[in-house]
Structures are given as structure tokens and as C-alpha cells.
Structure 1
Amino acid sequence: MSKLRLRRYEISISPESSRVIIRPFIPSSPRLITTVIGRALALTEKEVAAELARVKSEFDSRHFDIDSLLLQHFAKVETHVFTHRPLSHERRLLIGALFSGEYALESAALFNPSIVPHPDQSGIPEGALRFIMSLRATGEGHISSIEFRSGVILADGGINLDSVSRFVTIPEVVPNPSYRKESFVTKLHEMGFDNEWTATVLESLEDHFSRSDFTRSVRAVRKQAAPAARDLHRTLECMQWLADSNYELRFSEKLAMSERIIFPVSANESNGIEDARFVRFTGANGEVMYYATYTAYNGKAILPQLIETADFLNFRVLTLNGEAVQNKGMALFPRLIQGSYAMLSRQDDENMLIMFANEPHHWSDPQILMRPAEMWESVKIGNCGSPIETEAGWLVLTHGVGPMRKYCIGAALLDLEDPTKVIGRLKEPLLSPEGNEREGYVPNVVYSCGALVHGRTLILPYAMSDKASAIVSISLDELLDELRR
């Protein structure tokens, strides 16, 4: 363990099982769906009212607007309703409840935090900084989602976390998102579906096209090619998957930060949205955008994805392109370097790499930046979030895996103008799992997805053994002195 002095805060961010959402639970068997609906149709209106009242008395207080959610789930099975008689509002709600269930987002763990300045810095004390913290929440089936917390770092280094709401809300999925044709074509080429059928679908689309434009073009091609050949079916299926993987989300501005949840939407993230690394990115024109790289997991394969937001209310989720988009742990630098975007990555599950690009959605030509050097990182190294700019260089928090799969957090310093040059690395870990930090879902792990500097202090939120999260801080000057030695 490094001799650098850490300030540990009396803050524990622990999972809470009572924070639940309502998810659809619909059997794969059409026969079973019809059977369940039939039982609801057999009830009298009086019986429907009584059963619905029982549901409401038990679950209504746990959700903002349970009626709208139950109606959404009714709509998913409405085609299986085998009567042409109009259904009452109450019967629709009850059928919706039969195909719904609560899901505890963070019942298993709340970990791997990242932290960025809040876009709204109004109304806080002088010398303070309002922040947003993202966390990976994991529930039943190890399905991960993104949660948020907010708070204020005071001028003296104290931290006040905002109270956490008992309610959580999934955002609206924007029904007609837009796409960049160039990125769409590039990804299809990488996937091996650059053929006559993709060319036919894309031919009629503009440089920026909407989901409805895409759907119309696909229908036209299907109709033109009927009956569909096998390769056409596979191509259109792939194009549909790609369209589903790029989507937009919208939260109500009335929701508190802790009430906003990004839950898996597309098939490629059906088993989880893992380890989002948020960064406040400042463009060449001074415009600010928040980016986050994360790992989409479908139970079999992983796929790095990108989130864009300016306000933490409206989000765009995009696939990343390029031969270097392979492994976990991509972390974007917070500004352009010599006119290029820069990204840390891990391609080989051993070393830390760096790569550069003309735009943030396409990455190739990675080069090794750091290899394991000390015993505590001798199995593999990676980043713990985006690099932080200091006057001495780019401060990179690292994670190292050593004997017995123990994860520690270290640090390195890169040259500001040429971040392929390593100025210094800590020989000993900055933070190692100790005491009860060693116990959890994955023992002997401390890990972070991003820190920030406020004044001359590094604020570092970190996860403890994939279960809960805590916060420490350290003097930036002491850390930089150690790295430059």
C-alpha cells in the first residue's frame, strides 16, 4: 500500500432492495399467454374491480404511476385477447398486472462508480462543486443497469450526498430516433453484412435518417424480394439488430437524479449494462458533452457501447465502430489532443493501450501504453476511468490484478501533449482492499470507473468487492509529487 495519506469519508453507498421497477413478464408460449388472459376474461366486472383493488393496495405506493405501466404491458399481449368485446379500463389493468412483476435493481450490488461535475452549478456555496455519480446496479439474474446519485463537494473537501428517493423510473424510449448513415454503413461492413441487400435498403436513405425512414425502406425491400431468400432474411435481421442497438432515451425533468435508471433496452445488452465510465468532454469550440463508454452484455458476448448526454435527461446510446472496439474498459480523454480524440482501452486482457481517432465513434490502431510492472498488477492492468488533466500531465487511475485475483487501484502520469509517453507510475497501490472491503460478491476487489479533481484534491469513489461503494480523497500535489519522483 502506498504511503500517501487518504481521507476516508463516512459514506457508504449500499444496495437497497426496496428500489424496484415494474418489468413485463410474458411467457414465450402463445398458448400460455392466451390461457392466462382467458382466466381474466372469465371474471365478472365486480370480481375484476376486487382483484385490481388488491393489486393497487399492495403495489400502488411503490411506484409513481402504476396504471400507465400496467397498460403498457397489457398492450404487449393485446393481440392474444380472443374477444371482440371492448374491455373495461379495470380489466385491461388487471391483465397488465398478470404479465408484470417487480424487479429490484440493486438487490445484489451497487458498485463501480464514476463521478463528473454536474451540468448545473447554480445555487451552491462558494468554492463548492455539485457532482453526478453513476453506479452499476445489479439485481436478480445478475442484470446490471445504470443508477445515478448527486451531491456537493464543499470547499473544505467535505462531501454531502443528496437524499436518495425510494422511487425509480425507467426513461421513455424515443420512438423515432435518428441515425448517421456513415456510421451505420461502417458497422454493417465490420459485421460482414456489406452486400447488395444492405445497399438496397440504404440507397433511399439520407445522410441522417430516422427509424421510420429505415422501417419503410426495409419493408419495401422485403416486398420487392418476396419470397425472401435466406441471405436477405439474415441481412435484414442484422440491420434490425443494429438499429435496435442505437436508441434514444428521455427522462422527465421532474425526476430527481436518484430516480433516473438506465435499464437494458436492446438485445445486445439484455443481460446488463456494465461499468459505465462517464467523462465531461469539452470540444474544440468549448461545447460540453458528457460521454460514457460501457459494456453491453447479452449473456454470451460483450460489446462496447457509447452514451451521449448534455443534461442527464436526454441520452443517445450508440454502437462503437472499428477493429479496436473489442474488450472492456474503454475510457475517453476529456478533450481533443493535437486535434484528435484519444481513448484508453484493453485489447488483450493484460495490457493498457491507447488509441486516437478523428471522431468518437470509430476506433482502430491501438498501441500498448503500459504493461504489468509490479507484482500487485502482474496478471493484468487497466484503467479506472477517464484520464484527468493536471498541469503535470494526464493523471490515470489504474487497476491492477495480482496474486489470488486481488484488485488494487494505482496511478500513472502521462505527458500532456503526447500521452503515449509515461512520466511515472506508482510502485505500490494507491488503494488496496482491506478489512470488510474484502468481503462481497467478488472478494478482494477495489475498483473505480472514474474520479475527479476539485481544487487540489482528488475525489475517488470506488467499489468494494462488487457489492457496495465508498469514497476517499487524496492531496493532488502529494500524488503528483510521488508520480514525478
Structure 2
Amino acid sequence: MAASDDGIHFKINPEPCFFRDPEKLFGEFDNHPIDSRITRIGDAWYICRPGNSPHGCIGLLYKTSDFKIFEPVDIIALPDNRVPCLFPEKIGNYYYRLDRPYSPGNRCNPGEIWISRSPDLIHWGHHRFLLGSFSNWNWDKLGPGVPIRTERGWLEIFHGVTSSCSMTSYSLGAMLLDLEDPSRIIGCMQSYILTAEEEYEFRGRTPGCVFATGAIADLETRELRCYYGAADTCTGLAVGDIDEIIDGCLKGR
């Protein structure tokens, strides 16, 4: 965990929140802790992340109120799924989530975004396809982030992946979902909002990778802060205008 007063200068806790521990509730299913998606619902924070188990990649759900004690809730996604992203409030009588089921090695299902709902955050159903690859910056696969409520719809920042003869490139895109029916896309940008361009986004363990699992919106200043992994080596911060991004979604830019 890292904490900051200004969102730029962070103090990192030397102790990890998650680590491999075969004695914990999830046992062998809780391996390789990466790619957490964090959603605040009420007074608690729910953390979804992959569990790269011997049986495939599953979705694990944890809960915390203080970021000191992390309570395991349940396995909420079958393999292979990486990884559910919870909406920050109920819509109607249901919790909703976005996720990315996929079939390793299957070119017909490399990774697309689906939506589902649950009465209790554990039992999920009513699965519906939401978005697949549609442009040259996301031909290979897509992956969701935690949706953000705005006055004009649910703003969803997602990543797209495409391969070339020299490398695999990650970029970030945006779409807008209906507030009352989030299974309905009301706008989607055709171009990316961020792609690897800076040196620190290329020099690292995974060159050309910009990877975000969520963003922070200030609806008063209309600023969107997106923290993202850069080349799997450092963390970057990108700042954008919420209304400009939403307009881009609605106009299909």
C-alpha cells in the first residue's frame, strides 16, 4: 500500500498487502498477486484480483475497511477470468461488475469485456457480452477497469492490446455506459486516450505497456487522474479532462 497527501509523492508501506500463502483460505488458488481492482462500496473497499491457480486464472474477492486487515470473501469467477471490476454502488437491486473471461491460446476468444450482476457480490449471473476488439490499438484483447459514476453515464477506462512484428503494445481507451442499464454502451472512443510514448513506458520489464486498473475522478474540478503501470517497472500518472473524454465517447472519436 502507498499513501500520499497530494497524489504525487507517495510513501510505500514495506509490507505487502498480498503474498503467496498456501495456508490462507484460498490456498493454492491464491498465487501471483497482481492487477488489483479496488472499489469502494459504502464504508468498505472491495479488492478483486487474479488468482493464477494450477487450474487456471480465477477471480478472488477481498474486503477491507482500513487497508491493514484484508478479509477474503470468496472466489467469484471461474477460470479463465482476469479480473472482475465492481461498480461502486448497486443499480436497481443488484451489484454489477465488468470482467474479462478468456481462453488461453484460443484466437476466437483472446479476451473481451462482459458484464454481469449479483444480489450479494458472491453469486453472479445474467452474463452479457459488452465490448470486443474494434481498432488497430486493441486487436488482440481488451481488459476493464473500475467504472466511474458521472452525471452523464458510467465512465469506463479500459486497456487494449495489439501485437506487431517487434513488440506488444498496450493502450488505454474509454467508453460510457448508461447509468440505469450499464449493459448498454452509449458512447465509445475509437482512438486511445493514452499509449506508450515516453521513455519510461518503453524501458522496463514489459516495453510498450501502459496498464491501468482504475482512475480517480474529481467531479468538481472535472479532472480525471489515471494511475497506470508503465513497462511493468514503474507507476505513471496521467491527467485528463472528464468532459473532453466523455464528449469523445459520445462522438465516437
- Per the shorter chain, which TM-score range? 0.7 to 0.9
Q: Partner residue of 2:121?
A: 360
Work out which of the residue numbers 44, 51, 67 in structure 2 matches 1:289: 44
Instruction: Quote the residue 1:333 is aligned against.
Output: 87
**In the alignment, is the contact (CA less than 8 A) between 1:149 and 1:161 conserved in 2?**
no
Distance 1:418 1:460 in 2: 25
Structure 2: how far apart are the matches of 1:360 and 1:326? 19
| Cα distance in 1 between the residues matched to 2:246 and 2:30 | 41
Aligned equivalent of 2:131 = 370
SS at match of 1:273: coil
Query: Relative to structure 1, is the Cα distance of residues 150 and 278 closer, same or farther in structure 2, using a 3 angstrom cutoff?
Result: same
CA contact (8 A) 1:307 1:315 kept: yes
Pairing partner for 1:481 from 236, 247, 250:
247
The answer to whether the 8 A contact 1:337-1:417 is kept is yes
In the alignment, the residues of structure 2 paired with residue 297 and residue 364 of structure 1 have an alpha-carbon distance, to the nearest angstrom, of 22
Structure 2 residue matching 1:412: 3-state secondary structure = strand
SS in 2 for 1:275: coil
1:161 matched to 2:9? The reply is yes
Measured in 2, the distance between the counterparts of 1:161 and 1:308 equals 26
More displaced 10-residue stretch of structure 1: 310-319 or 469-478? 310-319
1:439 aligns with 2:203: yes
Per the TM alignment, residue 354 of structure 1 is displaced from its structure 2 partner at its CA by 0.2
- Cα deviation 1:377-402 (Å, max 9, x = unaligned): 1111121x210000010000011112
From the superposition, tell whether residues 300 and 440 of structure 1 become closer, same or farther in structure 2 (CA, over 3 Å): farther
Residues 470/299 of structure 1: CA separation in 2 closer, same or farther (3 Å cut): farther
> How far is 1:440 from its partner?
1.7
Q: Which residue of 1 aligns with 2:5?
A: 152
Q: Report SS of the residue matched to 2:137.
A: helix
Larger radius of gyration: 1
SS state at 2:243 partner: helix
SS of residue matched to 2:70? strand
Contact 1:268 1:303 in 2 (8 A): no
User: Relative contact order (alpha carbons < 8 A, sep ≥ 6): 1 or 2 greater?
Assistant: 1
> Which residue number in structure 1 is paired with residue 157 of structure 2?
397
Which stretches in structure 2 are left out of the alignment for 5+ residues?
103-109
Contact 1:270 1:299 in 2 (8 A): no
Asked whether the equivalents of residues 59 and 76 of structure 2 are also in contact (C-alpha less than 8 Å), the reply is: no
Residue in structure 2 matched with residue 16 of structure 1 by the alignment: none
1:299 is displaced (CA, Å) by 6.0
The equivalent position to 2:40 in structure 1, one of 280, 303, 308, is 280
| 1:302-338 deviation line (CA, Å, top 9, x unaligned) | 221001011212220132246x564102100000011
Percentage of identical aligned residues: 27
Q: Matched residue pairs, number?
A: 234
Q: Distance in 1 between matches of 2:76 and 2:213?
A: 22
Q: Does 1:308 align with 2:63?
A: yes
Q: Secondary structure at the match of 1:347?
A: coil
Query: Residues 199-250 of structure 1: CA distance to partner in whole angstroms, max 9, x if unpaired?
Result: xxxxxxxxxxxxxxxxxxxxxxxxxxxxxxxxxxxxxxxxxxxxxxxxxxxx
How far apart, CA to CA, are the structure 2 residues paired with 1:382 and 1:372?
Answer: 10
Residue pair 1:461, 1:469 contacting (<8 A) in 2 also: yes
Cα deviations across residues 36-63 of structure 1 (Å, max 9, x unaligned)? Answer: xxxxxxxxxxxxxxxxxxxxxxxxxxxx
Residue 100 of structure 1 corresponds to none
Q: What is the Cα deviation at residue 448 of structure 1?
A: 0.7
Find the aligned partners of 2:69 and 2:92 in 1 and give their Cα distance: 30
Q: 2: CA distance between counterparts of 1:376 and 1:305?
A: 29
More helix by percentage: 1
> CA 1:164/1:320 → structure 2, altered by over 3 Å: closer, same or farther?
closer
The change in CA–CA distance for 1:473 and 1:300 in structure 2 (over 3 A counts) is same
Q: Is the 8 A contact 1:433 1:446 kept in 2?
A: yes
SS at match of 1:268: helix
> Normalising by the residue count of structure 2, what TM-score does the alignment of the two structures yield?
0.85
- Give 1:270 deviation, angstroms: 5.9
| Distance (Å, rounded) in 1 between the aligned partners of 2:183 and 2:30 | 36
CA contact (8 A) 1:274 1:297 kept: no
Cα deviation 1:57-86 (Å, max 9, x = unaligned): xxxxxxxxxxxxxxxxxxxxxxxxxxxxxx
Residue by residue, what CA displacement relative to the aligned partner does 1:240-278 show, whole Å, maximum 9, x if unpaired? xxxxxxxxxxxxxxxxxxxx5322223325641121101
1:452 aligns with 2:216: yes
Compare the two structures and name the one with the higher strand fraction: 2
Partners of 2:17 and 2:68 within 8 A in 1: no
Length-normalised TM-score, structure 1: 0.46
Unaligned runs of 5+ in 1: 1-147, 154-158, 170-259, 283-287
